[in-house]
Amino acid sequence: MSAIVLLLLLVFAGAPSAEAIEPTPTGPVLRIVPAVRYDRLPADGDGGSFAPRVRSLLAWYQDAAPPGGLAVVYTPESRESFPTVLMDGRGRILSRGTSFRWGTGWLSLIGVPPTARPGGHELWLPGIHLPFRVTARTFASETIPLSSTLTTLRTQPDPRKTAEAVELARLLAGADPAAVHETGAFALPLAKPRRTAGYGDRREYLYDDGRTDLSVHNGVDLALPEGTPVAACGSGRVVMAKERIVTGWTVVIEHLPGLYSLYCHLSAVNVREGELLTKGQILGTVGKTGLATGPHLHWEVEAGGVAVDPDLLTAGLPLVPGRWPIPAAAMPAAAIPAVD
């Protein structure tokens, strides 16, 4: 054994070890690998000229998250952005990350979809395959009967509805590389709300004609009386402020490149597209516009076009290595179903 190999072994033996995931009273704790040694990564075959450079610069990444969480990859010195992809055990792409300038390098946030199955996954960046684990998480199920009006609103083909869906999907899949506006924890947009639906709830809609439809709830529903002020959960730029058929009066804010918060069913909006908001600034009021059975705020957070759990980000944004606690899962009361 050469002296160099021995020295490397000694360095690795002294390297900080990954923290185990332990159940705590407030939920599981994510583990973040503080300094991935590139020569300890699994071998891969796709090489490429870009690969050795990224490989040698990869400083840390987060190796586990629940459905609705975020995966994070950081390279401290890379001069160029890099694509990142989350794949399941069978190599199917679940989501794509958004990379942006952070410190002296680039950071990439990758959303873990609410439908991701627990178990071994993989984060891919050019030339590197990083093991990633989706942790177990259970979601509530609920059944929501819809009136004939709401059945029509949800089921009737409507070119305007399709156009609006395409417009929003395009917006959420894009990113302004300079939009680094919020680096702290998100705040609840309403004070002391009553939760009527949680992130990732499995929903069965009962239409008035007896048919049913299954869907996954992409946000959290917070109920308070109509007219209650709604605050921005973090600083950011308003990229949409308009009335839509399904989500009613809607505000979308970009907080980090590709990381957006959405506020739906508002009764009034008092911000304009392009406006820069600070965390806590009032952007509108609670309402029931669009597909809603009662006054509530549908609050949603999207990362690279994947809906992630807003409540997880109230513990902080995972932008530095360290513990990223997960608050206890939101308990949907569902006493009054508040749709979408």
The Cα 219–Cα 23 span in angstroms is: 24
Single out the segment in contact with Zn ion by CB under 5 A; choices: 137-145, 219-227, 253-261, 280-288: 219-227
Closer residue to Zn ion, CB minimum distance, 219 or 284? 219
Stretch 246-305 residues interacting with Zn ion (CB under 5 A): 298
Single out the segment in contact with Zn ion by CB under 5 A; choices: 29-37, 124-132, 215-223, 286-294: 215-223
Nearest CA-CA partner of 111 in 71, 140, 159: 71
Single out the segment in contact with Zn ion by CB under 5 A; choices: 102-110, 125-133, 173-181, 332-340: 332-340
Closer residue to Zn ion, CB minimum distance, 122 or 340? 340
Please, which residues have CB within 8 angstroms of residue 252's CB and are 6 or more apart in sequence?
168, 171, 172, 238, 239, 240, 241, 260, 261, 262, 263
Size of the site for Zn ion (CB under 5 A): 4
Do 292 and 265 touch, CB atoms closer than 8 A? yes
Closer residue to Zn ion, CB minimum distance, 221 or 302? 221
Strand extents, DSSP E, 83-157: 85-87, 93-96, 98-102, 105-111, 119-125, 128-134, 141-145
Closer residue to Zn ion, CB minimum distance, 63 or 201? 201
Q: CB of residue 201 vs Zn ion: minimum separation in angstroms? A: 9
Residue with nearest beta carbon to Zn ion: 298
Q: CB of residue 158 vs Zn ion: minimum separation in angstroms? A: 20
Do 146 and 154 touch, CB atoms closer than 8 A? yes
Closer residue to Zn ion, CB minimum distance, 164 or 340? 340
Q: CB of residue 98 vs Zn ion: minimum separation in angstroms? A: 24
Q: CB of residue 48 vs Zn ion: minimum separation in angstroms? A: 42
What letter would DSSP give residue 26?
T
Among 221, 254, 309, 311, binds Zn ion (CB under 5 A): 221
The count of C-alpha atoms lying within 13 angstroms of the C-alpha of 21, restricted to the half-sphere facing its C-beta, is: 15
Closer residue to Zn ion, CB minimum distance, 221 or 311? 221
- Is 203 a binding residue for Zn ion by CB under 5 A? The answer is no
Tell me whether strands 229-231 and 306-308 are parallel, antiparallel or unpaired: unpaired
The Cα 101–Cα 16 span in angstroms is: 26
Closer residue to Zn ion, CB minimum distance, 133 or 288? 288
- Residue 3: strand, helix, or coil: helix
The one-letter amino acid at 284: G
Single out the segment in contact with Zn ion by CB under 5 A; choices: 87-95, 135-143, 220-228, 243-251: 220-228
Strand partners, 73: 61, 108
- Residue 28: strand, helix, or coil: coil
Single out the segment in contact with Zn ion by CB under 5 A; choices: 26-34, 40-48, 212-220, 326-334: 212-220
Residues that bind Zn ion (CB under 5 A): 219, 221, 298, 340
